[in-house]
Amino acid sequence: MSPSIDNAKCVLVTGATSGIGRALALAIASLPSHPKVIGVGRRKDRLVGLTEAGIDAEKFDVNADKAATKNFVEEMIKKYPEIDTLVLAAGIQREVHFKKEVDLEAIATEMHVNYFSILTIISFFMPHLLAKSVSGHPCLIAPVTSGLAYVPAPWIANYSASKAALHSLCSSLRVQLEDTSIGVIEISPPLVESELHDAEGTTGALSQFWMPLEEYTKETMEGLQRGVNVVCSGMSKNIYEKFEQPKERIITEMAKRAATHSKMIACTVDNEDK
């Protein structure tokens, strides 16, 4: 189990100007515990709406290079030293058809936004979160993946791959941080009402099948409050429980074996030195 979102004092949410990110930012800000919420997005006009809802709005495009991201994280820590929770919801989705001309720049951008930017943000925030953890303060990292991390949709192959990479990162990061008070909760939505599909013009067709955003947000907040390691709904929940959940035990066992192996090597080297 991970810390509950109810323990959070200050929550930074990326992708907060639309879709799941915005809905979660508003829901977290409405918790009885009244945490400070920082909504991060690239669209200035959308940030105004967050401010009106009592959320601190910060303009930043996660599709930035390493130096810009580092500067942003340092600025956030300086401005909001109480940050103890990251909800990383920024993402884009594009179709790719390999029998046609493939836009490699678009693929690289999608992978950067959906995976590398999240990895980079986590890395730059980690010293800050670890320092809080030393004092026993509960912290939380909650990236948004997708049910397509478990079973890919062939027409959005790169999107599915980016979410699979993020899912794998969550599983490993959780094990690496298990001796700290930093929890890792993977938020894994099914097809949910959002603007994510507007770029490909598929919103109309998909709206017949998607989960209403209000219903999804309610279920996800309940999972975040319980502190479960993976918060999933609908088809994502079914697939995760059948195929992915059993792997968590294997990942933990692999980590234990690796740690034992490292200790054995260290002892051998130490004995040889003597």
Domains, the chain, ranges and CATH? 5-247 (3.40.50.720)
Sheet holding 56-59, edge to edge: 56-59, 36-41, 10-14, 85-88, 139-143, 182-184
Using an 8 Å Cβ cutoff, are 93 and 196 in contact?
Answer: yes
- The strand pairing partners of 68, in sequence order, are none
pLDDT value of position 258 = 87
pLDDT value of position 260 = 76
pLDDT tens digit at each of 274 positions of the chain = 799 999 999 999 999 999 999 999 999 999 999 999 999 999 989 899 999 999 999 999 999 999 999 999 999 999 999 999 999 999 999 999 999 999 999 999 999 999 999 999 999 999 999 999 999 999 999 999 999 999 999 999 999 999 999 999 999 999 999 999 999 999 999 999 877 655 655 555 566 667 999 999 999 999 999 999 999 999 899 999 999 999 998 998 999 888 776 665 556 546 556 5
Phi, psi of 143 (to 5 degrees): -75, 150
- In the block, tokens 């949410």 appear at 13
Of 178, 192, 177, the C-alpha closest to 231 is: 192
Torsion of CA 187, 87, 108, 172, to 10 degrees: -60
Q: Which residues contact 161 (CB under 8 A, 6 or more apart)?
A: 111, 152
- In the block, tokens 């200050």 appear at 10
pLDDT digits (tens, 9 = 90+) for 91-122: 999 999 999 999 999 999 999 999 999 999 99
Give the Å distances, CA to CA, from 199 to 167, 194, 195, 202, 216: 24, 11, 8, 8, 22
Helix axes 19-29, 44-52, angle to 10 degrees: 20
Q: DSSP per residue over 228-268, as a string?
A: -SEEE-HHHHHHIIIIIHHHHHHHHHHHHHHHHHHHHHHHH
pLDDT value of position 259 = 78
Q: Which residues contact 165 (CB under 8 A, 6 or more apart)?
A: 111, 115
